[in-house]
Structure 1
């Protein structure tokens, strides 16, 4: 049946359907292009997020310093950066010295044991055979391996400096960067997105404060336990255990490994007491410290954190593992604020959200 203007309705419906298909295809292509761009820039975005985490840490340390001492905030933030740099640098120095010492002891023990093993096996020149085999395996490729290792270390140091300086710059004027990003969004979405970013920032700060509390307690307990057992460099090993507590899943094991290596050269009794001490500290951390931290900061389902660490580690490598939990905290807040509440229109509490009144 013709319409009032004489055109067929099927033609109008066909044009409308074609436009909808074209819009859907354009949206799908745009999403795909954005996803590909994010994958290509994943390392850069991760460094940016690392700078945001550093900025939050600097505020978590510098704001109380400014309030209690009267130092202007513009000086308190660089002071907090020096504190963070000193703690991280001291930990790396202690860890490097500890590992180097243990490796040297192991090498000396192996060198003295090789002749005995050779005689027991009926190979009196076992030491020369091992040295020859090592040279054959290393060959001319040793220079390339050393160069590759040096390039990797230089790249990691460069990334660390970029994150640190970027964190200082963001900490000085955080709203400048937040408002600049929000201005790129449509007018109707700016206020809600700005509030969601503020909530994510507060949630991240609360989580970092809780994590710093857990790191300090773990470091102190570790140092005291190793000092009581008589393990050398107990304070440095406590510092290592406290800082490595920041790394999810692997951190506590790495911190314990450093202490166990130090105790291994003291005999079986000291080694067993050290292992028992780390097991006890781990139980205290899991059953006492973490519940306090969770109650006062951000509560995220443990399974979500576990799979987030695995996913970010698979996608982004070691740096993804280190930043997996703070990334999950921010994404958790943004999803609840911008998707669950605004898109699905479901009432939900948002961690870090400012309470009315």
Structure 2
């Protein structure tokens, strides 16, 4: 009647609703990013909360034990930052001041060491390097000058360093009630499916975030000690950069290796082969031994999907998109597997009812 089709109206309404939700998500992306980091931080501290809860006296409330853990974590991070942060900051300032001299094309040919077997080709190699440095110097110098501006911009967002722990505290405190409230909106069949999805995603995020933290700490300690022993320039700064980039899957460690080799080469470090050999050995140990052990549960995504997710994440959200790509893909996989299992179970139930009839 009157050309009105209910089915078409439902489809149109669904498309409009999805588009509206995507628009709202885009508009509040910064807020959502803070919430995401708060969730990740919650998974980092939650094992300590579980440990405290195990020995918590009955007269002490759960809120007090959670607050105690957060205070302890903040104190530990502050002490570690005061011990190593000053040295890393000094090395970063020193490197930023020496960048113009390091990129000087007139002297770079004499500073970069080459292995003995490449000495006959030294002039060709160094001419190529000099031409590349000369052509890219105009781009490198503005980046060096803008480094301080980037630091100031990050300092202007220090409010997030306060918001993340606060939101994490509230998320841990109210997580059980939020979960029960969300599940209460669903019927029995969907409750069972989504309860399994939430449980699987809980394992996924806990394993993934804690594995990244342990891998980052292992990289910081290993690189810091090895670079200091080998006499690599700016050892703590390069180790700190590598530890931070460890949180970016695949691309982060490669960028850290490139930065360490580039800074060492342009600084005239004479043992690049030893440095390259250590980095290669460490990456083999971490990628094929330590990483599989730490991520043995929860994060089971094929390399093909990881690469596709990294490329898509880079286009959608840059560094943040790359960081979130692996857990997002793993979460979508969990939802797909659980939904498929629920669908198969429903079909089996229907077949049994037909047979019984």
TM-score between the two structures when normalised by the length of structure 1: 0.68
Of residues 20, 36, 48, the one that matches 1:33 is: 20
* Local SS of the residue matching 2:247: coil
Q: CA RMSD in A?
A: 4.1
Whether contact under 8 Å (1:47, 1:159) holds in the other structure is: yes
Q: Which runs of 5+ in 1 are unaligned?
A: 1-13, 115-133, 139-144, 348-357
Shift of 1:76: 1.9
Describe the shift of the 1:49–1:112 C-alpha distance in structure 2 as closer, same or farther (beyond 3 A). closer
2:102 matched to 1:101?
no
The CA distance in 2 between the partners of 1:254 and 1:268, in whole Å, is 19
Shift of 1:242: 3.2
The CA distance in 2 between the partners of 1:196 and 1:109, in whole Å, is 53
The CA distance in 2 between the partners of 1:241 and 1:178, in whole Å, is 37
Question: Could you tell me which residue of structure 2 aligns to residue 5 of structure 1?
Answer: none
Shift of 1:234: 4.2
Whether contact under 8 Å (1:207, 1:297) holds in the other structure is: yes
Whether contact under 8 Å (1:215, 1:242) holds in the other structure is: yes
Whether contact under 8 Å (1:244, 1:252) holds in the other structure is: yes
Q: Which runs of 5+ in 2 are unaligned?
A: 58-63, 108-137, 348-357
Question: Could you tell me which residue of structure 1 aligns to residue 328 of structure 2?
Answer: 327
Question: Could you tell me which residue of structure 1 aligns to residue 112 of structure 2?
Answer: none
The CA distance in 1 between the partners of 2:302 and 2:97, in whole Å, is 43
Alignment of 1:216-231 (within 5 A): 216-231=217-232
Give deviations 1:128-187, integer Å, cap 9, x for gaps.
xxxxxx9xx99xxxxxx899757742454334443333223212332233334445x444
The CA distance in 1 between the partners of 2:282 and 2:55, in whole Å, is 32
Shift of 1:203: 1.9
The CA distance in 2 between the partners of 1:45 and 1:180, in whole Å, is 21
The CA distance in 2 between the partners of 1:257 and 1:93, in whole Å, is 24
* Local SS of the residue matching 2:296: helix
Question: Could you tell me which residue of structure 1 aligns to residue 7 of structure 2?
Answer: 20
User: How many pairs were matched up?
Assistant: 306
Shift of 1:306: 2.2
Shift of 1:40: 2.6
Describe the shift of the 1:67–1:310 C-alpha distance in structure 2 as closer, same or farther (beyond 3 A). farther
Question: Could you tell me which residue of structure 1 aligns to residue 176 of structure 2?
Answer: 175
Rg larger for: 1
Whether contact under 8 Å (1:199, 1:333) holds in the other structure is: yes
Q: Which moved more, 1:315-324 or 1:92-101?
A: 92-101
Shift of 1:217: 3.0
The CA distance in 2 between the partners of 1:64 and 1:235, in whole Å, is 32
Whether contact under 8 Å (1:51, 1:167) holds in the other structure is: yes
2:68 matched to 1:75?
yes
Describe the shift of the 1:63–1:195 C-alpha distance in structure 2 as closer, same or farther (beyond 3 A). same
Question: Could you tell me which residue of structure 1 aligns to residue 292 of structure 2?
Answer: 291
* Local SS of the residue matching 1:209: helix
